């Protein structure tokens, strides 16, 4: 499976990314509200794509997303991902 991360969080880098890779899956890309953070995070975690746009992320060829933004954003992002 190909995954995308909505949010560039510590928990994703220390727990979720290793679990995804352990399962033999790929983390395709990451989104952050900061372009610099997204790019730096992608490089540090061996992720090939980064963006600041949820719409762009949802157009990527991925099978699943992991949402790791702050709690008040989860509902809107989960609904958008489900619709995509």
pLDDT in tens, 20-78: 999 999 999 999 999 999 999 999 999 999 999 999 999 999 999 999 999 999 999 99
**How far from the centroid of its chain's Cα atoms is residue 48's Cα?**
11
Q: pTM for the whole thing?
A: 0.94
| DSSP reduced 3-state for 22 | helix
Per-residue model confidence (pLDDT) at position 36: 98
Per-residue model confidence (pLDDT) at position 78: 97
CA-to-CA distance for 5 and 32, rounded, in angstroms? 9
CA-to-CA distance for 24 and 73, rounded, in angstroms? 29
Per-residue model confidence (pLDDT) at position 50: 98
Assigned token pair, 83: 């619709």
């Amino acid at each position: 499976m190909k995954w995308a991360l909505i949010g560039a969080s510590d928990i994703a880098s220390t727990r979720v990314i290793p679990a995804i890779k352990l399962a033999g899956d790929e983390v395709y890309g990451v989104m952050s509200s900061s372009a610099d953070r997204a790019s730096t995070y992608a490089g540090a975690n061996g992720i090939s794509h980064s963006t600041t746009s949820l719409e762009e992320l949802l157009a990527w060829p991925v099978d699943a997303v992991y949402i790791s933004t702050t709690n008040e954003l989860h509902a809107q992002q989960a609904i958008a991902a489900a619709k995509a």
